């Protein structure tokens, strides 16, 4: 496979700038190629395939895994125009707009954040399967999509300086919820992303207290619920570092904001946010499929 060198000196897939040009349902042919190429089957996995034939982890179709092409076509990627800070998409025709109303009027501890796509369609289904059905096979593929999103921004002339990020920090679950689930999806995603990106994963944060599920809470209730929810882990240093907090879903940004505030108290230089999905705005067709699992 031919690879291109990015501005940050890292390897970029040749299709990363061409994928997802359509608004709404994006065609992700290049991403399919990228994901499948990176996830080369080992001899062992080929043997396993003979016993357990591969199938799409989302719809169950036999054949390629973890996503079939049809499910990848059902991803709502976030394309211009969108808020350059929180990534919420704007309606078509607002190409010159830079920030959404909330980002214009609220102080965020995050410099900015980016997401693969909207919390709808195949990505919503994939996260639900990961979190509520334990489909950890989806982690490498979701991390791959997130890494491709980062590379695309690095390649953009006026994109975020995501290449400055030198460490990733998971928005960890409370131990009680991790025990209930059996794993921590944010930590798993962060570790997989760190391997692709080849930058360290710092378990810099811990939950100061358990929080109630965010589902059904208003934006103000979410912020109140997450206030002070994270603190720095003793012995972990982020002083002067440019870091990105990694989580699965971005709804109001209250979880990422709470992480960023704790990292700021640890004297991190800049904090970005990276998530797989973002809740669609009410005007978007994907909002009809809205089903928030933020903080769950």
Residues that bind Zn ion (CB under 5 A): 56, 58-59, 61, 68, 71, 83, 85-86, 100, 103
Nearest one of 174, 153, 134 to 244, comparing CA atoms: 153
Nearer to Zn ion, 114 or 207 (CB): 114
> Please, which residues bridge with residue 277 across strands?
117, 249
| 131 touches 276 (CB < 8 A) | no
CB of 122 to Zn ion, least distance (A): 7
Cβ closest to Zn ion, residue 29 vs residue 61: 61
Could you tell me how far CA 16 lies from the centroid of its own chain?
16
- Nearest distance, CB of residue 196 and Zn ion, angstroms: 23
Q: Would you list the DSSP string of 226-265?
A: HTT-EEEPTT---TT-EEEEEEEEESSSHHHHHHHHHHHH
Q: How far is the CB of 134 from Zn ion (least distance, A)?
A: 18
For Zn ion, the closer of residues 68 and 154 by Cβ is 68
| Minimum distance from residue 261 beta carbon to Zn ion (Å) | 18
Rounded distance between C-alpha atoms, residue 284 and residue 18, angstroms = 23
Nearer to Zn ion, 68 or 259 (CB): 68
Specify the residue, 44 or 101, whose C-beta has the smaller distance to Zn ion: 101
Shortest distance, CB of residue 28 to Zn ion, whole angstroms? 12
Nearer to Zn ion, 122 or 229 (CB): 122
The answer to whether residues 124 and 284 touch, using CB atoms and an 8 Å cutoff, is: no
Q: Rounded to the nearest whole angstrom, what is the least distance from the CB of residue 140 to Zn ion in the complex?
A: 16
- Dist. CA 107–CA 130, nearest whole Å: 32
Helix (H, G, I), strand (E, B) or coil at 269: coil
Q: How far is the CB of 69 from Zn ion (least distance, A)?
A: 8
Say which residues have a Cβ less than 8 Å from residue 98's Cβ, sequence separation at least 6.
Answer: 83, 84
Looking up tokens 């309606």, which residue turns up? 91
Q: Which is nearer to Zn ion, 83 or 232 (CB)?
A: 83
For strands 205-207 and 11-12, give the pairing.
unpaired
């Amino acid at each position: 496979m031919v690879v291109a060198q990015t501005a940050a000196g890292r390897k970029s897939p040749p299709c990363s700038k061409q994928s997802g040009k359509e608004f709404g349902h994006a065609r992700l042919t290049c991403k399919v190629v990228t994901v499948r190429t990176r996830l080369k089957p080992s001899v062992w996995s080929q043997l396993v395939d003979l016993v357990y034939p591969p199938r799409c982890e989302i719809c169950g179709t036999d054949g390629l895994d973890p996503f079939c092409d049809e499910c990848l076509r059902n991803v709502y990627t976030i394309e211009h125009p969108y808020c350059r800070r929180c990534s919420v998409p704007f309606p078509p025709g607002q190409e010159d707009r830079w920030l959404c109303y909330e980002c214009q009027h609220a102080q965020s501890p995050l410099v900015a954040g980016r997401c693969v796509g909207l919390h709808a369609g195949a990505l919503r289904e994939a996260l639900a399967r990961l979190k509520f059905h334990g489909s950890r096979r989806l982690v490498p593929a979701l991390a791959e999509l997130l890494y491709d999103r980062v590379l695309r921004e690095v390649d953009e002339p006026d994109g975020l300086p995501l290449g400055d990020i030198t460490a990733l920090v998971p928005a960890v679950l409370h131990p009680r919820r991790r025990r209930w689930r059996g794993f921590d999806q944010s930590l798993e995603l962060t570790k997989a992303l760190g391997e692709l990106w080849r930058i360290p994963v710092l378990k810099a944060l811990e939950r100061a207290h358990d929080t109630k599920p965010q589902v059904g809470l208003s934006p103000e209730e979410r912020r109140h619920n997450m206030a002070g929810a994270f603190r720095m882990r003793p012995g972990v240093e982020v002083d002067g570092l440019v870091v990105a907090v990694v989580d699965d879903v971005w709804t109001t940004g209250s979880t990422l904001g709470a992480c960023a505030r704790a990292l700021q108290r640890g004297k991190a230089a800049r904090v970005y946010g990276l998530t797989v999905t973002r809740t669609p705005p009410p005007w978007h067709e994907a909002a009809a499929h809205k089903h928030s699992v933020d903080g769950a």
